[in-house]
Structure 1
Amino acid sequence: MQDYIKTFFAFRKQIILLTISGAVFFGLFLYLVYPVKYASTVSILPPEQEKGGSLQSLMMGGDLSNLLGGGGAASSQLFAEIIKSRTAHEYVIRKLDLFRYFDNPDMTECVRKLSGAVNPEVTKEGILKITTELATGISGRLTGEKKEVQEMTAKISNTFAAALDSINRAKNNSKAKKARVYIESQLKTTKSDLDSAEMALMIFQKDNKAISLPEQIKVSIETAAKLKSEIITTEIKLDFLSKNFNSNNPSVIELQTQLQALRNEYNKLSAVGDEYLTAFSKAPSLGQQLANLMREVKVLNEVYLLLQQQYYKELIQENRDYATVEVLDPAVPPTRVSSPSFVPTFLSASIFIFFIVFLYYYLSRGALSKYIKGNNV
């Protein structure tokens, strides 16, 4: 320690002078020559969560396409992954003509450069922040390039938000189309079954005009019809999910469990109705046939009406044009440099220069001492 102190006091003028000179030179280089970076951030609110996969979602007017996820069920983390995608990068590059900015006509190379400049990050509150950081060339603080870089960082961040909205909207519309096509096929099948059931009921009533059902049986039929329609819509949902997910998917398993519970309830209700019809003294066999035909017509009619509602909902969803991304704070051109930070960098460099100069004189003093001792010997 004494050697260090002696060295400093012995060469303090030289050490201080060289340190100040080096620090001033570095400061001028850092401020006047070294490229600087500017960053701009756009903040996006987390998507609203909509529960679309419950058993009653169709009965309550929910969209069948919600079962596939997306729309409100998307997460901020999913949004961040979309921002990282090549599709989003290509959207921004074409929208802003970044081929010119990056001075490169190759899409792959432009995607690589843009990917290194953009950083999507999700906060603990679920807010997505898309930050774009671009660097100027040499002497960027003093040239007109600074303004171009400042404006471009904001444009890129905001355009990524637009890209996210465009991709998410296309995804939602695609799911709605898939659901609409599926419902359309179910509508045709149900309409055919309904026409056949109505025709069978009409023929039966024409041939058996004297047969009528007690009021209790009619109420039972109404209840059974509603329950049966729930079973059929649940089967439709399960079939739709099974075409898009494997059997281990939680939503598929949940629907299978709920479907079995509905079937058990329906079987119990049917057993009660059958017992009552057996006691129907006049014509139990004809009464059973009439009840079954009426129940079939009511079930198919309810299912058909429900599918019609869903069909038009999915058709509207498929063709609607609305924003799916809500921007909290749009990006604005930055006024302050994001990197390098002048004061911390300058102080760190000054300390480093001091130690380099001090080490030089410390080693020089040691070598000089050895040389003097050698000559004295």
Structure 2
Amino acid sequence: MLEISDISFHNALNLVIKFRKQVIRITIVVFLVGIIYAVITPHQYVASGSIMPPKQNNNNMNLSAMMQALGGSMGGLSSLAGDMGQSNLSLVYSEVLKSNSVINYVIDTLNLYNSEFYKKLPRHKLIKELRDNIDILVDKSGIIYVSTTVNTNLLPDKSQRKRAAKLAAAISNAEIAGLDFVIRNRNNSVSAKTKDFIGTEIDNYQRLLDSIQTTLQDFRQNNKILELEEQTKAIVLQANTIATELAKAEVELSIGKSLYSENSQNYRMLKNSYDMLKSQYNKIQSGGITQNDKFSIPLNEFPSLIKEYTNLMRDQKLYEEILIYLRTNYYQEAIQEKRDIPQVDILDWAMIPAEKNAPIYKILLIVFAMLDIAIIFVFLLYKSSKIKLNSASQE
């Protein structure tokens, strides 16, 4: 058997000359196949858009943290994003971009189910193909790049190539719009649920306030109470301040019980704050926060009439403060629920690509040239072996 090393350059050149017709035919056939492949192969278009790094919102620190956790309990990403830095929040956004919610938004917005490039695929297969064709990249600065690849059908004409390029840009832009839509709806949904919860608490405390006001009015009329001593006022003021904070902490702890597990850090922080205020509240009831507080007097040492009146005034003030606190947050959540402010800061919209991404004709030319050389080499090796075998048999 003839080895490759047995063919010298001179012998190879002689073989090429001898079988030049066959070599030319092989070259023509290979390049005809290459031309046909280049003509019929699908064209690939890629369009890219970009999003600025997400900004964390530090407003409404008390209830917003709870809203974020409420979003997490519904399967959202708000609680996850709340404790993350900017770059990690970008990673969360990159995962949302490939979620079923965003991809379904793209499919419905662009009516991709009837697109010529997706051949009326079942929705689950269409979702998978779109997810495979969408590339999300997050750089070190947190900027998110959204790139979409669209392939034409076989033997694409000029019109189809234009439609594919246009669709690639449309999908990337719909992805960005879908991200904004999903995040905005999630935030609005969280705000709506938080607003409903606060609304229920407002109704409860309003009933308590109405009841205490009626009781206080009857108490004043029956006992002719007009004014208390200045010392009593100071004690009431101190008690009200701590009681208000304690009530706020109790409301937040009540919300936290429905949002966090008892072992979570957020819940422990709320519980510790509540316990501390509760301890201070108990101390002031029995004679001041500190042992050296000579101004405060235990309320149980006042005449029963003064103590009862003080408690009624304290409860009224307490419920008024709680209602102010709850209503402020209620209106904030109502505004958040209704506002239509974009949540995604777009850096660049995707542009329709002017050139295809593939096939690259220069690369195709190199590949088919190498294929032609390889086929010719095998052909010459075969012919050389056959000539040598014939010579040996004749001898």
Same fold (TM over 0.5): yes
Equivalent residue in structure 2 for 1:314, among 305, 326, 333: 333
Distance 1:179 1:353, change over 3 A: same
Report what 1:120 is aligned to. Answer: 136
TM-score w.r.t. length of structure 2: 0.78
Aligned to 2:86: none
- In 1, distance between residues paired with 2:281 and 2:251? 17
After superposition, the Cα gap between the structure-2 partners of 1:313 and 1:282, relative to the gap in structure 1 and judged at 3 Å, is closer
Residue by residue over 1:192-216, the C-alpha shift from the partner in whole angstroms, topping out at 9 and shown as x without a partner, is: 222233334444445263762334x
- Judge conservation of contact 1:53–1:251 (CA < 8 Å) in 2: no
Q: Compute the displacement of 1:105 (Å).
A: 7.5
Q: How far apart, in 2, do the equivalents of 1:226 and 1:18 lie?
A: 99
Q: What code does the residue aligned with 2:225 have?
A: K
Give the 3 Å change call, closer, same or farther, for CA 103–312 of structure 1 in structure 2: same
2:152 is matched with which residue: 119, 128, 136? 136
Q: Give me the TM-score of the superposition, normalised by structure 1.
A: 0.82
Q: Which of 342, 345, 352 is 1:333 aligned to?
A: 352
Q: Provide the C-alpha distance between the structure 1 equivalents of 2:163 and 2:380, rounded to a whole number of angstroms.
A: 46
Equivalent residue runs for 1:165-314 within 5 Å: 165-206=180-221, 207=223, 209=225, 212-215=228-231, 217-273=232-288, 278=297, 283-314=302-333
Between 1:267-276 and 1:289-298, the stretch displaced more is 267-276
Residue 79 of structure 1: aligned partner: 93
For residue 179 of structure 1, report the CA deviation from its aligned partner: 0.6
Q: Aligned partners of 1:19 and 1:249: how far apart in 2?
A: 73
The answer on whether the counterparts of 1:52 and 1:66 sit within 8 Å (CA) in structure 2 is: no
Distance 1:280 1:369, change over 3 A: closer
Q: Where do 5+ consecutive residues of structure 1 fail to align?
A: none
Q: 1:373 — aligned with what?
A: 392
Cα distance change, pair 364–375 in 1 and its aligned pair in 2 (3 A): same
User: What SS does the corresponding residue of 2:243 show, helix, strand or coil?
Assistant: helix
Most deviating of 66-75 and 45-54: 66-75
Conservation of the 8 A alpha-carbon contact between 2:285 and 2:299? no
Residue 40 of structure 1 aligns with which residue? 47
Q: CA deviation at 1:358?
A: 2.2
Aligned residues: 369
Map 1:6-155 → 2, pairs under 5 A: 6=9, 8-11=12-15, 21=28, 24-25=31-32, 28-51=35-58, 54=61, 57-58=62-63, 65-69=67-71, 73=81, 75-101=89-115, 102-104=118-120, 106-140=122-156, 142-155=157-170
The Cα offsets for residues 332-355 of structure 1, whole Å up to 9 and x where unpaired, read as: 100121123333343244334423
Instruction: Give every structure 1 segment of 4 or more consecutive aligned residues whose post-TM-superposition deviation is greater than 6 Å.
Output: 279-282
Gaps of 5+ in 2: 72-76, 83-88
Q: Distance in 1 between matches of 2:392 and 2:282?
A: 110
On the 8 A contact 2:66/2:256 being kept in 1, the answer is no
Correspondence for 2:6:
3
Partners of 2:52 and 2:345 within 8 A in 1? yes
